[in-house]
Amino acid sequence: MKLENVISLGVQPIEESNIDSPHIETVILLSHLLGKDKSYVYSHPSRELSDSVVKKFSSIIKKRAQHYPLAYIIGKKEFMSLDFIVNENVIIPRPETEILVEETLKLFPLQDASQHTIVDVGTGCGNIALSLAKYNKDIYVYATDISSKAINVAFENRKRLNMENTVSFINCNLWDYFNDKKWKGRIDALVSNPPYIRSSQLSDLASELGYEPKEALDGGYDGLYFYPLLIEGGKFLLRKGGYLIMEVGYDQAEAVKNLIQSKGNFEDIVIKKDYSGIDRIVIARRE
């Protein structure tokens, strides 16, 4: 079958499943299957594809039409202009999380030329940790995750990005590894995009989220389970003037700000919006 006909074959089921940009997605899936880039697919409409390729393509399209995430099919997702390997053991990096990285980088400008140590709690595929260290050579990141499978994905990403010397990945609960007096007040920033979806809302979410690891999404009955624990981490680990930087759900910024205020020990609490104008990142400075 000609490549252009194969594309038409793919677009229809994806369109019928109400997935945005069905044509682009179909081209991405075909280029992934052929091991070529998108421009190759666009520029070879008459190439004949074998029956076995068409069969494989149909089964991929079927999976995608059932809302299995594109990033899991192609095995990667771009974040901060870097490609990250992803699979079902990690959440797929979201564009709004780039705000967390950008805001953190603003707080530690390159011109400072001093070394900074950052702890990233709940690192998943390592996207926040690796981006921070990639864009500021003076940042060293210790990143934790409770999931050993996620840590393995993060290791793979670190290797691909050749960043073994600037990021450490640790399989532990929250910041337990650092719960020792030798780390007290030694950290310049604690960053985290914790699970923050209310447990009761997990089943109502867009069907694609159903394929992502539940422990990466579930923030307890009110979605706020992790924030007091992260604030405790910030109190213990941050040096005076160090920053606690956390991503929050669309309606959680004020509640998280109040939690920080009620714990004391922090000042200059600010909320940053994401690209859709939603309050998304809460930043507080250790007194």
Nearest to 104 by CA among 52, 143, 60: 143
By CB under 6 A, tell whether 193 contacts ligand SAM. yes
CB of 3 vs ligand SAM, minimal distance in Å: 34
Closest CB to ligand SAM among 25 and 212?
212
Nearest to 174 by CA among 207, 146, 153: 146
Choose which of 5, 148, 173, 207 interacts with ligand SAM (CB under 6 A). Answer: 173
Choose which of 93, 233, 242, 249 interacts with ligand SAM (CB under 6 A). Answer: 93
Q: What residues contact 220, with CB distance under 8 A and at least 6 apart?
A: 198, 199, 226
Backbone angles phi, psi at 236, to 5 degrees: -80, -45
Return the range that interacts with ligand SAM (CB under 6 A); candidates 58-66, 187-195, 255-263, 268-276.
187-195
By CB under 6 A, tell whether 246 contacts ligand SAM. no
By CB under 6 A, tell whether 189 contacts ligand SAM. no
By CB under 6 A, tell whether 150 contacts ligand SAM. yes
Q: Number of residues in contact with ligand SAM, rule: CB under 6 A?
A: 22
Maximum pairwise Cα distance, the chain: 67
Spatial strand order of the sheet with 139-145 comes to: 167-171, 139-145, 116-121, 187-192, 238-247, 279-286, 266-273
Return the range that interacts with ligand SAM (CB under 6 A); candidates 23-31, 57-65, 138-146, 161-169.
138-146
* Contact map string, positions 108 to 137, toward ligand SAM, x by CB under 6 A: -------------xxxx--xx---------
Tokens encoding 75:
């095995």
Bridge-based pairing state of the strands 82-85 and 139-145: unpaired
d(CA 261, CA 265): 8
Query: What is the four-CA torsion angle of 71, 59, 20, 69, rounded to 10 degrees?
Result: -30
Tokens encoding 172:
């532990």
Choose which of 194, 223, 233, 242 interacts with ligand SAM (CB under 6 A). Answer: 194
Closest CB to ligand SAM among 60 and 151?
151
Q: In DSSP terms, which residues pair with 144 in a beta bridge?
A: 121, 170
Closest CB to ligand SAM among 49 and 71?
71
Closest CB to ligand SAM among 173 and 200?
173
Q: What is the binding site for ligand SAM (CB under 6 A)?
A: 90-91, 93, 97, 121-124, 127-128, 144-147, 150, 173-174, 193-195, 215-216
